[in-house]
Amino acid sequence: MSVIPLDPASPASYAVGIDFDQTLVAHDDGWQDGRIYGAPIPGAIDSLHALAGVRSVFIVTARHPRFHPAVATWLTRHSGLDAVVDDDPERAYWQGEALLVTNKKLGAALYIDDRGLRFGGDWTTTLAQARHAIGLAAHPAPTGPADRVAGSPGHGAPQGRDAFAEGSGAVRVPVRGRPGARLAAWGVPWPPTKGWRKRLAGHRQAEQD
Ligand SMILES: [Mg+2]
């Protein structure tokens, strides 16, 4: 885990961002039109105090700004800490005593979020974790025999849009634009080598004969 100590040259290092819903507040009875009704998650308030004592803290929420005053009220009611609503559209950082309620991803030394995934510099690991977190197999299933033509330049790890093709995942994502698969079924490598149209035309003619 990377460590971001306080650095006077880095305004981001002064702040810790904390998600609101299901990180500070438990909303076990659903969205309820955005009403802020839940109780603090165990340990959340003590942790808010601990972090607010050593860094500036902002509470980042995707809730519509009309809910931000209610979030600030909830924070103050449960923690006794001052909380203010972010009213600066240009804000990039937060350094202040009060908890700031914002819907912007401000610069921070750290984010605490129930939906977060720490990126440690290795996208292979991160992509597998991300797929798992959204209900897919950690690694894409092979996309079918057509993609496994030996010697095809297209053989191997699917790229781009094809990387999201699911052979057996819980969620099937429609896959368009897979010329490699279609051509491979016709025996044409992907990307196609020079003269593939001519060879393909001869092949299909032979099929019809
Ligand atoms: Mg959340």
Ligand 1: distance of its center to the CA of 113 in Å?
6
Ligand 1: distance of its center to the CA of 12 in Å?
21
Can the peptide bond before residue 191 be classed as cis, meaning omega within 30 degrees of 0? yes
The domains of the chain are located at 11-112, 123-208
Q: For the structural domain made of 11-112, what CATH number should be given?
A: 3.40.50.1000
Average pLDDT over residues 140-166: 53
Res 167: pLDDT:
43
> From residue 166, how far is each of 147, 156, 158, 204, 207 by CA, in Å?
13, 15, 11, 29, 31
Q: Give burial (CB, 10 Å; 0-12/13-18/19+) of 76.
A: middle
Ligand 1: distance of its center to the CA of 139 in Å?
26
Ligand 1: distance of its center to the CA of 167 in Å?
31
Average pLDDT over residues 68-72: 96
Task: Tell which residue, 62, 81, 51, has the closest CA to residue 21.
Answer: 62
Comparing 11-20, 22-31, 78-87, 165-174, the range with the smallest average pLDDT is: 165-174
Average pLDDT over residues 61-70: 94
Q: What distance lies between CA 161 and its chain's CA centroid?
A: 17
Per-residue pLDDT for 100 more than 50? yes
Res 36: pLDDT:
81
Ligand 1: distance of its center to the CA of 78 in Å?
18
Average pLDDT over residues 36-63: 96
Residues around ligand 1, an ion, CB closer than 5 A = 19, 21-22, 114
DSSP letter, residue 173: P
* Token reading at 206: 């032979």
Ligand 1: distance of its center to the CA of 62 in Å?
9
Per-residue pLDDT for 24 more than 80? yes
The CB-based long-range contact list for 130-134 (8 Å cut-off, 24+ gap) reads 134/171
Ligand 1: distance of its center to the CA of 208 in Å?
60
